[in-house]
Amino acid sequence: MRSSYLLLPALLLFLVSCSEKHPDGASLINKEASLPAAFNFSKMGLKVITSSINKKQGTMSTLYGNDLALNTAKAGRPAQPGEVLALITWKQKDDDRWFGAKIPGKLQSMEMINTTAAPGAAATVTYKHYDGDQMALNPDTLVNQERIKYIFDQKPSVMP
Amino acid sequence: MSTAAKPPLKRIVLPVFFALIFCFIVLQFVNRPLITNPPVTGEIEAPAQVKAILKKACYDCHSNETNLRWYDKVNPVYHMVAEDVTEGRKGLNFSTWKDLAAPDQKGKLWEAVNQIIAGAMPLKNYTAVHPGAKVSLEDLAVLKKYLSDMVVSKPADTSKTNALDKQYKNWTKETAAQTAPSVSSNGIAYIPDYKNWQVISTTDRVDNGSMRVITGNDIAIKAIKENHINPWPNGTIFAKIGWDKIADVDGNVHTGAFKQVEFMIKDDKKYASTKGWGFARFKTPKLLPYGKTKLFATECVNCHRPESANDFVFTSPVKH
């Protein structure tokens, strides 16, 4: 008879040990791909404009923008004052939860464009490039014009 | 204690024991489900090595060539086996493989291999009794190579470019005039606001040549910020937007035609029957709801099942 008293807890213990473990929330975040909190990126409230992949470099990028930037791009008009655009690029990595998929790995760079009103011209474009482990401002301006053109040339992804 | 009561062994334990034996024997005959092997109408074609793995590890539950051993036929095991075979064949059947359209066959194969990698298939209680059905690491390498070799990456594809151009024109000249909202067979209506939500992650799907962006509503974004994502709070909504891929001459790949948008809405009570999530998929810019009956959600749940320890969510969120 006694043994049945032992059996029940033993059975419960067995069931508990068999049930799966749930990893805690923090461990499920893609940390290496996450933006430094100091950027306060999400506060800017930017929306996705499009996304792209560079096969040669093994990177993937997402272009974000404010409403004005999206609408200007959709209308195919030149830059208007007040646009905010951000192009974020990651090294790709294999998705360890889905064989056949690649997802953002290490954060590589952040490019920011702001446009302001300019007398005589459509808008003045300010371009900033952050990269490296600390996402520091990159002082090199050699390719700025090329990058500005590249970013403005992106066609928005169709989102009905 | 020892004075009045007789030792209970003979009085209680033995009759109970015999009663159990009796029940066990009766159980072998009553309500016995029938597992039959319907004809094999269009079996999967694959290299011998690949097929041998599927045969030993999956065919008992995912084909019409189920081969039950004597110990599978003893109840209550037999009941469980019958249920597994019925459910297993419903979602994946290698004997009626050719009923599936070519892209669906490909999709199922990737899903199958992913279920093996995740340890979800073959079912653990089955391999415990049939150790020979386990998929070894070498087997897995064979399957992975078979899939990887099937991927063809076409560079500029004019039919895809044309499809995009057509969609793009219609989309950019769209006026505010809204058509009647599209509703899925499980009652979930299309949510146009998904494109205004913040981005959670992106995926480059090599298996089916698509690109995806995953966005989340404010509740989802707040949960990510606070690391409260297992389980996700009620009210969380994810949208996964899918496009074709179009490569330009430099090897840069951009989004092509819009394929679909899928939603997962968290409500552990309302959607208890589908693991706490309401699933819906709307296809093409016409936003046609996927799934004739609400049973379509079983398909979503079954493929998301390997993530059961992560609240059935695949995506590892990127904090923005």
Model confidence pLDDT, tens digit, residues B33-57: 678 899 999 999 999 999 999 999 9
Residue found by looking up tokens 């899918």 in the block: B242
Rounded CA gap, A138 and B79, in Å?
66
Q: Look at B254 and A54 and tell me if their CB atoms are within 8 Å.
A: no
Distance CA B103, CA B89 (A): 19
Closest-CA residue of chain A to B175: A160
| Structure confidence at residue A103 (pLDDT) | 98
Q: Is B115 on the interface with A (CB under 8 A)?
A: no
Q: Report the sign of the C-alpha dihedral through residues A27, B208, A35, A37, in that order.
A: negative
Residues from chain B contacting residue A95 (CB–CB below 8 Å): 203, 314
Token pair, residue B18, equals 């015999």
Alpha helices in chain B (DSSP H): 8, 14-27, 48-57, 59-62, 77-91, 102-117, 124-129, 137-150, 158-172, 218-225, 296-304
- B236 touches B216 (CB < 8 A): yes
Q: Can you give the pLDDT at residue A33? A: 97
Structural contact between residues B133 and B62, judged by C-beta atoms closer than 8 angstroms: no
Q: What's the rounded Cα separation, in Å, for the pair B208 and B205?
A: 6
Query: Hey, is the C-beta of B109 within 8 angstroms of any chain A C-beta?
Result: no
Nearest CB to B319 within list A34, A92, A159: A34
Answer yes or no: are the C-beta atoms of B182 and B287 closer than 8 Å. Answer: yes
Q: Are A53 and B204 in contact (CB under 8 A)?
A: yes
Task: List CB contacts of B255: < 8 A, sequence separation 6 or more.
Answer: A50, A51, A52, A157, A158, B211, B243, B244, B245, B246
Vertex B102: Cα angle to B108 and B55 (nearest 5): 45
Question: Which of A31, A64, A98 is the best residue to mutate to test the B interface, defined by the most B CB atoms within 10 Å of its own CB?
Answer: A98
Is there a contact between B318 and A157 if contact means CB atoms under 8 Å apart? no
User: How far from A21 is each of B115, B302, B307, B310, CA to CA, in Å?
Assistant: 18, 19, 12, 9
Query: How many whole angstroms separate alpha carbon B136 and alpha carbon A104?
Result: 30
Shortest distance between the Cα of B34 and any Cα of chain A, in A, equals: 30
d(CA B224, CA A89): 20
Compute the half-sphere exposure of residue A152: CA atoms within 13 Å on the CB side of its CA: 20
Restricting to B residues 44-63, those with a Cβ less than 8 Å away from any Cβ of A are none
pLDDT tens digits for chain A (160 residues)?
A: 444 444 444 444 444 444 567 899 999 999 999 999 999 999 999 999 999 999 999 999 999 999 999 999 999 999 999 999 999 999 999 999 999 999 999 999 999 999 999 887 778 999 999 998 789 999 998 899 999 999 999 999 999 9
Mean residue pLDDT of chain B comes to 91
Q: How far apart are CA B224 and CA B318, in angstroms?
A: 9
- Note whether B206 contacts A60, CB cutoff 8 Å: no
ipTM of this predicted structure: 0.88
Q: Which of residues 277-306 of B touch A (CB under 8 A)?
A: 285, 287, 306
Which residues of chain B register pLDDT less than 70?
A: 1-9, 27, 29-33, 153-156, 175-179
**pLDDT of res. A92:** 97
Q: Summarize pLDDT for A12-58 with one digit per residue, the tens.
A: 444 444 456 789 999 999 999 999 999 999 999 999 999 999 999 99
> Cβ of A62 and B213 within 8 Å?
yes
What are the backbone angles phi and psi of residue A64, rounded to the nearest 5°? -115, 155
Residue pLDDT, tens place only, B73-95 = 887 788 888 999 999 999 999 99
Amino acid B30: pLDDT: 65
Residue B280 to chain A, least CA–CA distance (Å): 16
A117 to chain B, closest Cα gap in Å: 26
Nearest C-alpha of chain A: how many angstroms from B311? 8
- Rounded to a whole number of angstroms, the distance from the CA of B287 to the nearest CA of chain A is 8
Q: Does B216 touch chain A (CB under 8 A)?
A: no
What are the structural domains, with CATH classification, of chain B? 48-150 (no CATH), 158-310 (3.50.70.20)
Residue A20 CB coordination number (10 Å)? 8
Q: Are B262 and B214 in contact (CB under 8 A)?
A: no
∠ CA A45-A46-A51, rounded to 5°? 150
Which is nearest to B155 in space by CA: B80, B60, B247, B92? B247
Cβ contact B309–A22 (<8 Å)? yes
The answer to whether A100 touches B206, Cβ cutoff 8 Å, is yes
Radius of gyration of chain B (CA): 25
